[in-house]
């Protein structure tokens, strides 16, 4: 536990057999439970995960990246998680950062923390393809401008959430595809959640998961649509199901005033 909060790491997996063990070995001991959801892999991901001592859930059919995460968060919340950290099992993100990210949630300072590949300038150094980097910067610029936010990126797959935040969002309304992550982040901005970021070095190599150009293009258009839908909901023009909830549901952390302190007028 961290600050008496139960920390659960969730690993949405698809054909992650070659990188899973390296990822799990570096997950900090402060994590109380690690859950892997296998999205109907064709390799031995689930068998290896069980051998590594993880709690394993296997989809009977492939439900997609977003569908996998929906299962991840349900299982984590059902297990009593106070903090949920989503980590890809492809060893692209550094698992050692699970603890500081979870601590930022457990301390009550943030509702969501992003592991940013852009902060610190490590994306290109870590091998991010230049076309992906350019697309990342362009889409992030558009979303920051439209949603009046100041995030370094919207597309990282390394995130930590508070229990309260996950329960406040209509995740069932989100896509089962890759745009799920972006929709969830747009929902957090619409809700008024407190968002933190940490610099996260990444590794791009043959075994790391990646989507092809066609899927990337579909994702990009999905991001623009999500941004338009969020902006429309803010302006009261229309409200799609994924933004059909009142903003600012989360209560800000309050610090009790010591009774020994006198009011200063």
pLDDT digits (tens, 9 = 90+) for 28-58: 999 999 999 999 999 999 999 999 999 999 9
Q: Reduce the DSSP state of residue 67 to 3 states and report it.
A: helix
Q: Give the number of domains in the chain.
A: 1
Contact 53, 61 (CB under 8 A): no
Q: What is the CATH number of the domain that holds 118?
A: 3.90.550.10
Alpha carbon distance, N-terminus to C-terminus of the chain: 41
Beta bridge partners of 4: none
Residue 252 belongs to some domain of the structure: no
Does residue 99 register a pLDDT over 60?
A: yes
Provide the residue range defining the domain that includes 234. 7-243
Lookup: tokens for 42: 């064709």
Q: CA Rg, the chain, in Å?
A: 19
Residue 251 belongs to some domain of the structure: no
pTM of the predicted model as reported, rounded to 2 decimal places: 0.89
Lookup: tokens for 155: 């597309």
Residue 199 belongs to some domain of the structure: yes
Residue 258 belongs to some domain of the structure: no
Residue 75 belongs to some domain of the structure: yes
Does residue 108 register a pLDDT over 80?
A: yes
Residue 93 belongs to some domain of the structure: yes
Residue 259 belongs to some domain of the structure: no
Residue 165 belongs to some domain of the structure: yes
């Amino acid at each position: 536990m961290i600050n008496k909060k139960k920390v659960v790491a969730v690993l949405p997996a698809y054909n992650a057999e070659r990188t899973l063990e390296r990822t799990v070995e570096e997950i900090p001991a402060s994590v109380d439970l690690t859950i892997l959801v296998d999205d109907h892999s064709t390799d031995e991901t689930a068998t290896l995960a069980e051998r590594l001592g993880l709690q394993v859930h296997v989809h009977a059919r492939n439900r997609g990246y977003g569908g996998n995460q929906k299962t991840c968060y349900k299982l984590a919340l059902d297990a009593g998680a106070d903090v949920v950290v989503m980590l890809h099992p492809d060893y692209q993100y550094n698992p050692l950062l699970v603890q500081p990210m979870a601590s930022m949630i457990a301390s009550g300072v943030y509702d969501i923390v992003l592991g940013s590949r852009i902060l610190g300038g490590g994306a290109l150094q870590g091998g991010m393809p230049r076309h992906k980097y350019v697309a990342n910067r362009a889409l992030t610029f558009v979303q920051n401008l439209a949603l009046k936010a100041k995030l370094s990126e919207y597309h990282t797959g390394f995130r930590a959430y508070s229990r309260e935040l996950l329960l406040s969002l209509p995740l069932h309304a989100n896509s089962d595809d890759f745009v799920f992550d972006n929709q969830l982040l747009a929902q957090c901005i619409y809700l008024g959640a407190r968002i933190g970021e940490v610099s996260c070095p990444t590794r791009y190599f043959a075994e790391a998961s990646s989507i092809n150009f066609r899927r990337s293009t579909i994702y990009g258009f999905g991001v623009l649509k999500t941004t338009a839908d969020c902006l429309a909901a803010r302006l009261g023009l229309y409200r799609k199901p994924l933004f059909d909830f009142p903003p600012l549901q989360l209560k800000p952390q309050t610090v009790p005033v010591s009774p020994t302190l006198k009011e200063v007028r």
